Amino acid sequence: MSHTHDASCGPDPAAFLRKLADWGMKGGPMPGAFGPQGRARRGDTRAAILKVLAEQPMHGYQIIQELGQRSGGVWRPSAGSVYPTLQLLADEGLIVAEESSGKKVFSLTDAGKQAVEDLAETDAPWDVAAAFGDFSGILALREAGGRLASAVMQVGHAGDKAKVDAAVEILNGARKQIYTLLAED
């Protein structure tokens, strides 16, 4: 049995994933797949940084927060991708860093402004995410699932068979209750 989406029944998840693939992102519309520490090719992170710096100078943490906010939390690059990209952009002469209140604040050079103009025809990652709807519910479920998985792993590592058996029973009950929610539609 197959199910297809058309314009009358909301966003098409497959189209969303295809669009993200165009940007070089991996996974689906949830953190962990490409979420809080979103995974994008360096060129995509580069383009996103240039686009936000075109609006105002920012320090690295602000850039990470801004990208996360603009994508509704769907894509937020890690510090491990943003800071090396900032260094690369500085090496290329597209941005400069100035000290302000003990933080490096980055702004575009004239060459950086030209690079942003060259990117004008491309969609930004946050626009891609916004075009396919609100994923805040999915994100909240994913975060709750992550916290649950952490608790389950702690029980498993404790090695107490009775606690493991009890946890399995609780999880099976929770799964049934969640499917009951779907059956209510």
Q: The tokens of 99 are what?
A: 């000290």
pLDDT of residue 134: 63
Residue 2: exposed, middle, or buried by beta-carbon count in 10 A (0-12, 13-18, 19+)? exposed
For residues 139, 145, 150, 156, the Cα torsion angle rounded to the nearest 10 degrees is -160
CB atoms within 10 A of CB 37: 15
pLDDT of residue 107: 97
Fold of 12-132: Arc Repressor Mutant, subunit A (1.10.10)
Domain borders along the chain are 12-132, 140-183
Distances from the Cα of 62 to the Cαs of 33, 65, 79, 102, in angstroms?
22, 5, 11, 14
pLDDT of residue 159: 79
Counted residue by residue, the chain has a size of 185
The model's pLDDT over 22-45, given as tens digits with 9 standing for 90+, comes to 444 433 343 333 433 344 444 578
Distance CA 76, CA 39 (A): 8
- Phi and psi angles of residue 171, each rounded to the nearest 5 degrees, phi first: -65, -45
Q: Which of 74-83, 99-108, 133-142 has the highest mean pLDDT?
A: 99-108
10 — pLDDT class (breaks 50, 70, 90): very low
User: What's the mean per-residue pLDDT of the chain?
Assistant: 77
pLDDT of residue 106: 98
